[in-house]
Amino acid sequence: MNLDSITVESIRDSLRERKYICDRSLATVVYLSVRLGKPILLEGEAGVGKTEIAKVLADVLQTRLIRLQCYEGLDSNTALYEWNYPKQMLRIKLEEIGSRDRESVETEIFSEDYLISRPLLDAIRTDGAEPPVLLIDEIDRADMEFEAFLLEVLSDFQISIPEVGTIRADKRPYVFLTSNRTREIHDALKRRCLYHWIEYPTFDKEYEIIMTKYPEVQKVMAEQICAFMQQVRQMNFYKRPGVAETLDWASALLLLNRAELDPEIVKETVGCVFKYREDLHHLEEELSGDKLDMDRILKEPATVVGGNAQ
Amino acid sequence: MARELNEEDIVRAVERYKPLRGQGTLANTLMFGRVLKDLGFRMGLSQVIDANRSMPLIDIRSRPDFHRALAANMLHDHEDIELFDQVFEAFWQGDAEIEDGIETMEVPAQSPDEALESSDDSGGTVEETLAEQEGAGDDSPMDPDPLMVPTYSPNEQLNEKDFSEMGIEESRAVTQAILLIASKIATQVSRRKKRARRGTEIDPRGTMRRNIKYGGELVELVARKRRIKKTRVVLLCDVSGSMDCYSRFLIQFMYGLQNELWGVETFVFSTTLSRITHLIRTKNIGNALEKISKSVLGWSGGTNIGRSLEIFNRDFAVSMVTHRTVVVVISDGWDRGDVGVLERQMQALKRRCGKIIWLNPLLASENYEPLCKGMQAALPYLDLFLSAHNANSLVHLGHTMRRLVA
């Protein structure tokens, strides 16, 4: 894709071609990010497609996707680079037999051959190729220290390795950060980024997503699934189901050759939607209560009030 | 940014900058940034600049696109979206002004520096603005010195004062302090964790050192050890009627701790147990409290500690509690349930978890003795029995937790 000719529409359409349904506001933010060279911080509930958009965009831009999954205790050795110690030691041992002078050995074992490149260094060292999409996933799981370190990398897009020198990105990678908000991201990092909150999809959007991913799903059932999802997202579950769950459910129902939902099959397959015992329990209560109007969901799914669950 | 702003505040902030507004998008975007800053948004010049860089890239005549471009650059929290939208509507009234902006974008009426300077006297920093809001009508002076760790005190007297005796103004000050204490404690905890060595791989430095005795030959390899299990903190807070005057503060403390620290699970109980971890995963504590009291059954009602523990042991302990977990129970021990059940459940919990800390707000009063049956039944299984009736006791609790968790 030619970067100079991209527009908000072209981004939205090419994402759509690759089966990622996104609204104009997300497309605008992605567009701005590509043009401004600024990272995007995506927040939203689990399973609304935060990670997916980075993957799809890499495909659109026809470039590599480099993914850095964050976890507690992630440090710069794992994220940036590390010296290949065993290889260095072996080299030293081998050199003991030979008679080369110490200095040349030293320069050698601290050359790039002995450097193990980790995702961040990978993303910056493009060697003239198209800049990759760098996905820093679930940043909220990493420690605060790592965040501070990331701040440094994301502001200059350069990395200094004392023994080798400074490596600078000739073209900035397209950076996506995602967070599930298990804790707050530091303000300084947020300021470096464009921010976008991905909502749960509306009824229509979710319907479109199902029909795009699984065109063989019967229309009635797709509507019923969406109506069910819209309703339960407005209730107080521990983990509200995301789009990922919707799609799992749809594909499970397809496997079972279902053309329509009925109360029985909902009970049998609801494990696709709720993954916590307390939530399953809660659902049972709701099903027997009157808040979850199954009749209406099954018979007139299109009339179930959509809108974004907050 | 837990702020409650009404329309008047917004209109006032917008009005304040009206005389300074110039022609063109640049000048106006700058002013828009100032208004947001005044209203408590964290705003730096770089964001305003980037917002301006975005303008030529989008179709500025499309109001939704214009809105999105500003929001992407200037908004950083989905909880502020609503407020941002209100300010946006109030500030950018009518498409005419925006369109007007494109024509004259190159010639802002005022240079950016000028505009910033001239607005400084009326503006003030974010901190000042926040302090003004917090301290409105408040006689007790707030001293937000972030370096005092974590004995931060809004006021010495308040630190010692029992939560149950506080008025609204005092409780507001203490709430601030509690959140700060919680965040300080949490940061220190996480720093300690960081020092744990990573990975089940060779530790070159350790290996070198170990092998000096063999004259530098590599004979033994030293591996780094990974911390396998994460220490978790589970908070169980009594919200029954007898705890009313304390539970609000304690939940705020839990909220502060949980938002800063990874691996904290929070529950409240009265006659039954509810998990509220997900409810307090939000920035706005006011909303959170409201959400909790709405969704929790038996708030301010009777107490059945035994049954609540039973539910916890049955449904949650399996996946949440390991021998490293610290379980903190916050309750006055007044129990209307079966003492036998309570005792059995305490025993079961004790077998499974690392430490049980019981916080009892009544412990502080001089003539308190744990006479009520519930408390007596629980006592043998406790590792620590502490008070939690004022801010100082929370600081103390913080230190203790740090020792246990780190």
Q: For the segment A204-235, what is each residue's pLDDT rounded down to a tens digit?
A: 999 999 999 999 999 999 999 999 999 999 88
CATH 3.40.50.300 maps onto chain A at 3-80+118-198
Q: How far is A70 from chain B (nearest CA, A)?
A: 13
Pick from A178-182, A293-297, B249-253, B338-342: least confident: B249-253
| CA distances to A223, B21, B333 from B371, in Å | 60, 69, 9
Do residue B58 and residue A28 have CB atoms under 8 angstroms apart?
yes
Do residue A28 and residue B261 have CB atoms under 8 angstroms apart?
no
Q: How far apart are CA A189 and CA A199, in angstroms?
A: 22
| CA distances to A157, A210, B72, B117, B296 from B41, in Å | 27, 38, 14, 19, 32
> Could you say which of B46, B198, B202 has the minimum Cβ distance to residue A191?
B46
CATH superfamily of B233-405: von Willebrand factor, type A domain (3.40.50.410)
Q: Which pLDDT band holds residue A106 (cuts at 50, 70, 90)?
A: confident
- B162 within 8 A of B390, measured Cβ to Cβ: yes
Do residue B78 and residue A239 have CB atoms under 8 angstroms apart?
no
Residue whose pair of structure tokens reads 């005389």 in the numeric block: B19
Q: How far apart are CA A294 and CA A232, in angstroms?
A: 11
Residues of chain B found within 8 Å of residue A193, distances taken between Cβ atoms: 76
Q: What is the pLDDT of residue A65?
A: 95
The rounded percent of chain A whose pLDDT value lies above 70 is 97
Query: Averaged over A237-266, what is the pLDDT?
Result: 91
Query: Averaged over A108-121, what is the pLDDT?
Result: 88
Q: What is the pLDDT of residue B24?
A: 74
Do residue B194 and residue A143 have CB atoms under 8 angstroms apart?
yes
Query: Averaged over B291-301, what is the pLDDT?
Result: 70
- Can you name the residues that pair with B201 across neighbouring β-strands? none
pLDDT at A203 over 90: yes
Q: How far is B285 from chain A (nearest CA, A)?
A: 14
Mutate: best of A77, A182, A276, partner B, most B CBs <10 A? A182
Task: Take residue B340 and report the two structure tokens written for it.
Answer: 């036998």
Position with higher pLDDT, A176 vs B188: A176
Domains of chain B, by residue range, sit at 7-134, 198-228, 233-405
Q: What is the pLDDT of residue B119?
A: 38
Q: How far apart are CA B374 and CA B370, in angstroms?
A: 9
A244-254: pLDDT as tens digits: 999 999 999 99
Q: What is the pLDDT of residue B216?
A: 63
Residues of chain B found within 8 Å of residue A233, distances taken between Cβ atoms: none
Pick from A46-55, A85-94, A203-212, B251-260: least confident: B251-260
Domain A3-80+118-198 falls under CATH 3.40.50.300: yes
Query: Averaged over B157-172, what is the pLDDT?
Result: 62
The rounded percent of chain B whose pLDDT value lies above 90 is 2
Tell me which residues of chain A have a C-beta less than 8 Å from any C-beta of chain B. 8, 24-25, 28-29, 31-32, 35-36, 38, 41, 43-44, 72-73, 75, 77-78, 85-86, 89, 93, 141, 143-145, 181-184, 187, 190-191, 193-197, 236, 238-239, 277-278
Position with higher pLDDT, A271 vs B292: A271
For residue A198, give the 3-state DSSP assignment: strand
Do residue B198 and residue A77 have CB atoms under 8 angstroms apart?
yes
Top mean pLDDT of A1-10, A100-109, B83-92, B292-301 is at B83-92
Q: What is the pLDDT of residue B250?
A: 75
Q: What is the pLDDT of residue B246?
A: 77
| CA distances to B44, B109, B222 from B26, in Å | 15, 9, 60
Q: What is the pLDDT of residue B112?
A: 40
The number of beta carbons lying within 10 Å of the beta carbon of residue A62 is: 8
Q: What is the pLDDT of residue A299?
A: 82
Backbone angles phi, psi at B386, to 5 degrees: -125, 165
> Could you say which of B193, B262, B278 has the minimum Cβ distance to residue A238?
B278
Tell me which residues of chain B have a C-beta less than 8 Å from any C-beta of chain A. 42, 44, 46-47, 50, 53-54, 57-59, 64-65, 68-69, 71-73, 75-78, 81, 187, 190-191, 193-194, 196, 198-199, 202, 204, 218, 227, 230, 259-262, 275, 278, 281, 283, 295, 315
Q: How far is B357 from chain A (nearest CA, A)?
A: 24
Residue whose pair of structure tokens reads 């974004």 in the numeric block: A308
Residues of chain B found within 8 Å of residue A141, distances taken between Cβ atoms: 262
For the sheet containing B384-386, what is the strand order?
B273-275, B264-269, B233-238, B326-330, B355-359, B384-386
Position with higher pLDDT, A308 vs B177: B177
Q: What is the pLDDT of residue B185?
A: 56
Q: How far is B73 from chain A (nearest CA, A)?
A: 5
Q: How far apart are CA A262 and CA A298, in angstroms?
A: 7
Q: What is the pLDDT of residue B101?
A: 44
Query: Averaged over B199-205, what is the pLDDT?
Result: 61
Q: What is the pLDDT of residue B27?
A: 81
Residue whose pair of structure tokens reads 């629980």 in the numeric block: B378
Query: Averaged over B98-111, what is the pLDDT?
Result: 41
Q: Which pLDDT band holds residue B175 (cuts at 50, 70, 90)?
A: low
Q: What is the pLDDT of residue B117?
A: 39
Pick from A79-83, A231-235, B150-154, B217-221: least confident: B150-154
Q: What is the pLDDT of residue B212?
A: 67
Q: How far apart are CA A16 and CA A230, in angstroms?
A: 22
Query: Averaged over A158-178, what is the pLDDT?
Result: 89
Q: How far is A274 from chain B (nearest CA, A)?
A: 15
Q: pTM to 2 decimals?
A: 0.66
Which amino acid belongs to residue A36? Answer: L
Query: Averaged over B374-381, what is the pLDDT?
Result: 86
- Can you name the residues that pair with A167 across neighbouring β-strands? A159
Averaged confidence pLDDT in chain A: 87
Averaged confidence pLDDT in chain B: 70
> Could you say which of A8, A32, A238 has the minimum Cβ distance to residue B72?
A32
DSSP state string for B57-117: GS-TT-HHHHHHHHHHHH---GGGHHHHHHHHHHHS-SHHHHHHHHHTTT--SS-HHHHHH
Residues of chain B found within 8 Å of residue A144, distances taken between Cβ atoms: 187, 190
B333-346: pLDDT as tens digits: 888 888 888 888 99
Task: Take residue A77 and report the two structure tokens written for it.
Answer: 């050795």
Do residue B260 and residue A8 have CB atoms under 8 angstroms apart?
no
Q: How far apart are CA B33 and CA B36, in angstroms?
A: 5
pLDDT at B227 over 70: no
Pick from A110-124, A256-270, B153-167: least confident: B153-167
Q: What is the pLDDT of residue A216?
A: 93
pLDDT at B195 over 50: no
pLDDT at A8 over 70: yes
B54-73: pLDDT as tens digits: 888 888 888 888 999 999 99
Q: What is the pLDDT of residue A250?
A: 95
For B26-53, letters b (16+ CB in 10 Å) and e give bbbbbbbbbbbbbbbbbbeeebbbbbbb
What residue of B is the nearest CA neighbor of A181? B281
Q: How far is A166 from chain B (nearest CA, A)?
A: 24
Residues of chain A found within 8 Å of residue B54, distances taken between Cβ atoms: 32, 35-36
Query: Averaged over A72-76, what is the pLDDT?
Result: 80
A127-157: pLDDT as tens digits: 777 899 999 999 988 877 788 888 888 888 8
pLDDT at B290 over 80: no
pLDDT at B114 over 50: no
- Can you name the residues that pair with A67 across neighbouring β-strands? A135
Do residue B53 and residue A36 have CB atoms under 8 angstroms apart?
yes
